[in-house]
Chain A
Amino acid sequence: MGLKEKLHNIKGKVKGTKWQTMFGAVHTLFYTPNEITHSGGHIKGADDLKRLMTNVIIPLIPVLIFAMFNVGFQQNIAINGYQEGMSFFSGEFWNFDNFLIGAIKLVPLLLVSYVVGLGIEIIFATINNHEVEEGYFVSGMLVPLIIPIDTPLWMLAVAVAFGVVIGKEVFGGTGMNILNPALTIRAFLFFAYPTWMSGDKVWVAGAKERANEIVAGANLDAISGETILGSLAQGKEFAYSTWDMFFGFIPGSVGETSALLILLAGLYLIFTKVGSWRIMLSAVIGSLVMGLIFNAVVDAGIISETSKFYGLMSTEFWHHLLLGGLAFGIVFMATDPVTGSQTNKGKWIYGFLIGFISVLIRVFNPAYPEGVMLAILLMNVFAPTIDHYIVRGNVKRRLKRLKAKTA
């Protein structure tokens, strides 16, 4: 008897019991169900939610692997100094030592994210007696990629529990939530443990530990783990070239650094029609427009070099896309279909405002140099409003047609 028959028999046995949900989740992982159409159309398209969700994970895998190397690389250069002008395929970056350091740090984060998140999903699905939905497939992968590498595991576990329960399950699970769950998790970390989520000690693996050791009297050099945005917000110089920023050899949240891989991921999502090109394009335009406005302000001499906003305002407008989490947020977070705008016209407005507000927050609020998270969460809240007015437009058109007739 093959696996298929065995699983089918178990399915019959657990049916109606509380194990049904959990078994179903495992069973459907191996086999698409033998369900047939009952009402309406007799044939169905090939895609289901599992397929589309996995399709978001595919471009995240290169980002994740790059992140593992980068974690190690950042620790190395923080200790051993930095070599300029590296090519993308430099052996300095792509070596096993770097990978190992990163993997040891990152794999536990990934595991905690999935175990806690999926655990809660399964509990809720069992209580509510519905199938385990796939939303957390993607969220669980995104979460470790948008937090600082040195985030303690217990903190992550608490944040994930908060994010999944308050961000999603209270609304009814996947498809019903208002805020992007992954960003809800990050926002929780950000505001509950602010010292861990910003500053100059959390972006490079081991920096915090090292600082503690120095305080305790160890004779070591401190590791500086400042992100470029952090430096700019404080008006400091930084030593990274544009190419470094594009390739991603810079400190930052785990997965956000490589603009190159994120660009490729974005193109992949657009090509497969899983991510909305409207949101991505309009968000890029939005951020460029805001960047240009700030550049113009600087060029017009309205703001002096001593201003605390000067550093970020004078950043070349398109560099904003390479810095911080903007690109990552645009490609993977803003395009979440559940929390984003749902009408095609609305997507243009929604995306544009995300880009626009991200750069705005970034420049004007040095305490939160990462404006993307807040911009997306803000627009998540406004997306239904945008859609409401777009749909009203359609309703009005219909009424107008009627009036034209009766008049």
Chain B
Amino acid sequence: MSQDIRIKKGLDIKLKGESEKITENAISSNVYTLKPEDFHSIIPKLSVKVGAKVKAGEPVFYNKANEDMKFPSPVSGELIDIIRGEKRKILAVKIQADSEQQYADFGVKDSKSMKADEVKSHLLAAGCWPFIMQRPYAVIADPAKTPKAIFISAYASAPLAANYDYVLAGKENELQAAVTALSKLTSGVVHVSVGKKSNSPLTSLSDVTLHKVSGPHPSGNVGTQIAKIDPVNKGEVVWTIAPQDLVIIGELLLTGKFNAERIIALAGSFVTAPKYYKTKIGSSISSIVEGKLNEGNSRIISGNVLTGTTQNLKGVLGYYNNMVTVIPEGDDYEFFGWTMPVFKKISTSRALTFSWLFPNKKFDLNTNTNGEQRAFVVTGNYEEVFPLDIYPMQLLKACMYKDLDEMEQLGMYEVAPEDFALTEFVCVSKQPHQETIRKGLDLMLKEIG
């Protein structure tokens, strides 16, 4: 059974600096870093001390609330530093890589013959569990629950996003092993979505329900697909997982090794020659971008321009990110910027903004907010880019005044911050939508769980 998804509401943000489909090896990082903040709502407890030796895949820390949930080292090496913040909160764990990589052996498994409990304990032990996210609350999945379905979006519609068809090519075996294992964990099915004209390696998988997706961004967001296929109701749980992480799970099952390698896109108008690079989770940003950027003041983002996190050369490739975007920083004033005709920026209105004249033009946007924050004034423009059957402004306001009942009624269980990235982009009042939703979800998680 296949159910195609076609959405009309949305916005494709076309930017300069798309990655060319060439893959090179990035310089190997000397030091790899794990940042607990990548794992939202997890309180880490260290499993090893400074100076200890770890193999790739061996746990560095675990979840305080669930000791079985382990977070592995992406490489083998020596734990050299733990950076702490206020109240001794762990901000980063640094591991100096060995020149010869050694992998912890978790044993080769046949995913077809595994039982649900085996899959669960295997993924938890080998540190692959954190790849699985859940809705509601957009946090790492709770292993104690059984999801009604698992969703995998292999269609990336975000600006400049890494092309999954390209980065996953040749990984059929790993993907198949991973989805077969995951299909044991749900009472329903594993939904896989690919682009409409895609030659994705995921199209040939068995044990899944395939969906073809078309339409503007956020058609590739897993949240959009969940809403169209099988929306989350109160009391239900669905899990989501990104395709590049399936590959790591698949490799674990097939070889017994935790291999943190992934192909990432380096993109953005500030990159001299945007390409794909083979690197590892936790690599330093400098190992990826050094010598590849234009001169000037830039913003380095781990992830895409809508949902990624700000990094600098000393920063780290985020645990869940498969791209690094570099765009110009916009910290300059613009003379009469609020009233002059605008040709070089994207707008969904036509208020002396002319991006509607050039639907295929690629823009070079910077990080300027293009105006100050205001109260909500304009109505109806969020709905144009928001394909979910939810009232976005009403939900945001419910989050702001922290009305849990209303948040629940208006569909808070169905959303993740990334679903509000486009409404945030078009917001005339420059309100922080994603942050508002994140805080709202955290509040619900704390109060309702």
Which A positions have Cβ atoms within 8 angstroms of B? 4, 7-8, 28, 30-52, 54-55, 131, 133-135, 172-176, 271-274, 276, 278, 337-338, 340, 342-344, 347, 387, 391, 394-395, 397-399, 401-402, 405
- The answer for the CA separation of A133 and B428 in the assembled complex, in Å, is 13
CB neighbours (8 Å) of A337 from chain B are 377-380
- Residue with the greatest number of chain A CB neighbours at <10 A, chosen from B330, B348, B374, B393: B374
- The reply on B306 being an interface residue by CB < 8 A is yes
* B residues less than 8 Å from A28 (CB atoms): 338, 372
Whether the Cβ atoms of A273 and B425 lie closer than 8 Å is: no
User: Which B residues from 342 to 389 make CB contacts under 8 A with A?
Assistant: 342, 345-353, 355, 365-381, 383, 389
- A233–B351 Cα gap in the complex (Å)? 40
- Which residues of A have CB within 8 Å of B378? 49, 52, 337
CB distance from A200 to the nearest CB of B (A): 39
Whether B370 contacts A45 by the Cβ 8 Å rule is: yes
- Within 8 Å by CB of A47, from B307, B370, B394, B420, lies B370
Known: A31-B334, A36-B330, A36-B368. A52 touches B389 (CB 8 A): no
Task: Please indicate the chain B residues that have their CB under 8 angstroms from the CB of A49 in the complex.
Answer: 371, 374, 377-378, 428-429
The answer, among B327, B329, B346, B417, for a CB contact under 8 Å with A45, is B346
Mask, B143-163, CB within 8 Å of A = 1, is: 000000000000000010000
B333 within 8 A of A: yes
A175 with B375: CB separation less than 8 A: yes
Separation of A28 and B430 alpha carbons in the complex (Å): 15
Q: Are B430 and A273 in contact (CB under 8 A)?
A: no
User: A272 CA to B234 CA in the complex, in Å?
Assistant: 40
Q: A337-B379, A342-B379, A344-B383 are in contact. Are A43 and B366 (CB under 8 A)?
A: yes
In the complex, what residues of A have CB within 8 A of residue B308's CB?
Answer: 42
Within 28-46 of B, Cβ neighbours of A (below 8 Å) are at: none
Q: In this assembly, does B305 line the interface, its C-beta being within 8 Å of a C-beta of chain A?
A: yes
B383 to chain A, nearest CB (A): 6
A33-B369, A46-B370 known; A41+B350 contact, CB < 8 A = no
Q: Could you give 9 example pairs across A and B, Cβ below 8 Å? A: A8-B333, A31-B333, A33-B372, A36-B369, A46-B355, A51-B428, A52-B351, A343-B379, A405-B233
User: Can you name the residue of chain B whose Cβ is closest to the Cβ of A388?
Assistant: B394
Q: Interface with A: B93-101, B210-218, B247-255, B431-439, which one? A: B431-439
Indicate with 1 or 0, residue by residue over B199-216, a CB within 8 angstroms of chain A CB atoms: 000000000000000000
Contacting pair B342 A41 (CB below 8 A): no
CA distance A16 to B413 in the complex (A): 41
- 4 nearest A-B pairs in the assembled complex, by CB-CB distance: A48-B371, A32-B337, A175-B375, A40-B434
Find out whether the CB atom of A55 lies under 8 angstroms from the CB atom of B351.
yes
| Distance A69 CA – B331 CA, assembled complex (angstroms) | 46
Q: Does B332 contact A (CB under 8 A)?
A: yes
Q: Of A173, A176, A273, A401, which one neighbours B349 at CB under 8 angstroms?
A: A273
Task: Answer whether A42 and B310 are a contact pair too, CB < 8 Å, given A34-B368, A133-B375.
Answer: yes
Interface residues of B in 304-346 (CB under 8 A from A): 305-308, 310, 325, 327, 329-339, 342, 345-346
Contact A397 B352 (CB under 8 A): no
Q: How far is the CB of A258 from chain B (nearest CB, A)?
A: 23
CA distance A202 to B247 in the complex (A): 79
Q: List A contacts of B159 (CB < 8 A).
A: 43
In the complex, residue of chain A having the shortest beta-carbon distance to the beta carbon of B325: A42
Whether the pair A43, B333 counts as a contact (CB closer than 8 A) is: no
**Nearest-CB residue, chain A, relative to B304:** A42
- Whether the Cβ atoms of B233 and A398 lie closer than 8 Å is yes
Q: Is the CB of B334 within 8 A of A32?
A: yes
By a CB distance below 8 angstroms, the chain B residues around A31 are 333-337
Is B299 a contact partner of A42 (Cβ separation < 8 A)?
A: yes
- Among candidates B299, B349, B351, B369, residue contacting A35 with C-beta atoms closer than 8 Å: B369
Chain B residues near A34 (CB-CB < 8 A): 330-333, 368
Chain B residue at minimal CB-CB distance from A278: B380
Query: In the complex, what distance in Å separates the CA atom of A109 from the CA atom of B104?
Result: 81
Which residue of B305, B325, B350, B389 is within 8 Å of A271 (Cβ)? Answer: B350
Chain A residues lying within 8 Å of B415, measured Cβ to Cβ, are: none
CA distance A54 to B337 in the complex (A): 12
Whether B426 is near chain A, meaning CB under 8 Å from some CB there, is yes
Cross-chain contact A44 with B391 (CB below 8 angstroms): no
Residue of B nearest to A347 (CB): B380
Complex alpha-carbon distance, A134 and B368, angstroms: 20
Select from chain A the residue with minimum beta-carbon distance to B375.
A175
> Which residues in B have their C-beta under 8 angstroms from that of A55?
349, 351-352
Bound form: Cα–Cα A37–B374 in Å: 14
Q: A40-B417, A41-B434, A175-B375 are in contact. Are A32 and B333 (CB under 8 A)?
A: yes
A20 to chain B, nearest CB (A): 13
Cβ contact within 8 Å between B381 and A174? no
Decide: B342 and A46 in contact? CB cutoff 8 A: yes
Q: B426 near A45 (CB under 8 angstroms)? A: yes
Q: Once the chains bind, are B327 and A32 in contact (CB under 8 Å)?
A: no
Given contacts A45-B346, A273-B350, A405-B236, 7 further A-B contacts (CB under 8 A): A32-B370, A45-B427, A48-B370, A174-B375, A175-B375, A387-B394, A397-B389
Contacts known (A37-B367, A43-B13, A272-B349); A401 close to B424, Cβ less than 8 A? no
Instruction: Check B231 for interface membership: any CB of A closer than 8 A.
Output: yes
Out of A41, A51, A342, name the residue touching B306 (CB < 8 Å): A41
- Decide: A37 near B435, CB < 8 A? Known: A45-B346, A54-B338, A391-B410: no
Residue in B closest to A279 when the chains form the complex, CB atoms: B380
A329 to B334, CA, bound (A): 35
- Roughly how many angstroms separate A37 CA and B378 CA in the complex, as a whole number? 20
Does B80 sit at the interface, judged by CB under 8 A?
no
Contact present for B233 and A41 (CB under 8 Å): no
Q: Tell me the smallest distance from the CB of B436 to a CB of chain A, in Å.
A: 9
Contact check: which of A46, A52, A276 meets B345 at CB < 8 Å? A46
